[in-house]
A = this chain, B = another copy of it.
Amino acid sequence: MKVKKFSKRAGLSPGTLLHVGERKVDDIKISIMDYDDAHLREMDVDTVEACGQFTKTDSITWINISGIHDVDMIQKLGNCFYLHPLVLEDVLNTEQRPKMDDYDAYLFLSLKMVYPDADYQTIRYEQISLIVGPSYVISLQEVEKDVFDAVRERIRHAKGHIRKKGSDYLAYALIDLVVDHYFKILEELGEKIETLQDAVIENPEPSSLAVIQTLKKEVLFLRKSIWPLREIVNTLTRGDSELIHEDIIIYLRDVYDHTIQIIDTIETFRDMLSGTLDIYLSNMSNRMNEVMKVLTIMASIFIPMTFIAGIYGMNFKYMPELDWAWSYPVLLLVLLGIFLAMIFWFKQKKWF
């Protein structure tokens, strides 16, 4: 599924707008927050053009658009904010790898938001695009409107520094939120892995292998989206862009530390999963060993005894033992002796 939608664009002129990915939401919603230290205006608008007026003021404007399947709307957004066609193309392509481009007048960031599926079974990825200008931030989401609510609340209640700082701080807050969601996913993954490991140690079943592989793949995809994110944040902390002010860099460095911690944890998960595979395989082979031991013990005890019984089942005319009165009880004793000797021998070999 993950690998199927790459080639739609092949041969198209760059800057040709085309939505790549599935349409996840019916209506597009555009909501605006315009604020400075003293004032705050919040509203929903219908058209992208309505956004333009806010950017001329000194106050910080955050335009959040959820639903990106409408190519026309994106084109209008591009016209309104003088965005490069490649930016629009990347906004529309949900298969985009996380990246950052510095277009002097604004920064473009493409990120992956992760959250658990409704039934906590698989990880869902949503693309978040951020366009960070001197006094505005445009965020584009595929679906939900509520992932950024924590930041919205902080703006509304003027918590922390957010109302006193510029668009770069707002961008930082959004990136920080995206990174924090990775931690949530990691927790759930971590629990799944530990549950799996316990299950495999206790009772390895062939189905465990499929679970190991599925978790491996999820860890792999997480890794694929966090590595470029780490690179993006690292680039931001270098302070090359004039849009990022000195005092924000210390915050970005903190985010950078978090991305490294996420990568560390992902590596640990990989190691734990391959350790689990080792345990699984070794337990399978232990079971095989058990099976073989049972067979060997049963066969080694009874095959020789059956042979001896077979001897005295022969119909030769002249077999003196057959006529002796004590033959039968003596033979039973001999067989019992063989039986006990075998048991003793296997005990000594510690086979059971």
Please give the residue numbers on chain A whose beta carbons come within 8 Å of chain B beta carbons, in ascending order.
Answer: 2-7, 9-16, 84, 86, 89-90, 97, 99, 101, 103, 150-151, 154, 159-162, 173, 176-177, 180-181, 183-184, 186-187, 189-191, 194, 201, 206, 209-210, 213, 216-217, 220-221, 224, 250-251, 253-254, 257, 260-261, 264-265, 268, 271-272, 275, 277-289, 291-296, 298-300, 302-307, 309-319, 321-328, 331, 335, 351
Contact = CB atoms under 8 A, between A and B. Distances in A.
Contacts of A268: 2-3, 220-221, 224
A258 to B, nearest CB: 9
A184 B11 CA distance: 11
B183 A6 contact: yes
A15 B331 CA distance: 84
Contacts of A10: 150, 177, 180-181, 183-184
Quickly give the copy total for this chain. Answer: 5
Q: Is the interface of A mostly helix, strand, loop or mixed?
A: helix
Nearest to A153: B11
A131 B303 CA distance: 77
A195 B239 CA distance: 47
A183 B84 CA distance: 24
B313 A323 contact: no
B161 A15 contact: yes
B300 A14 contact: no
21 contacts: A7-B180, A10-B181, A10-B184, A13-B154, A13-B162, A90-B254, A206-B283, A209-B283, A213-B275, A213-B279, A216-B275, A282-B284, A285-B288, A288-B289, A303-B303, A307-B309, A309-B310, A315-B315, A316-B331, A317-B323, A318-B327
Contacts of A9: 180
A303 to B, nearest CB: 5
Given A250-B86, A251-B86, A292 B295 contact: yes
Nearest to A154: B13
Contacts of A194: 3
Contact of A97 (B159, B260, B277): B260
Which of A180, A184, A326: most chain B CB closer than 10 A? A180
A19 to B, nearest CB: 17
A256 B48 CA distance: 31
Nearest to A327: B316
A278 B279 contact: no
Given A7-B184, A13-B162, A307-B309, 19 more contacts: A3-B265, A5-B187, A6-B187, A6-B261, A6-B265, A9-B180, A10-B177, A103-B250, A206-B283, A210-B279, A213-B278, A288-B288, A291-B351, A302-B303, A303-B303, A306-B307, A306-B310, A314-B331, A316-B327
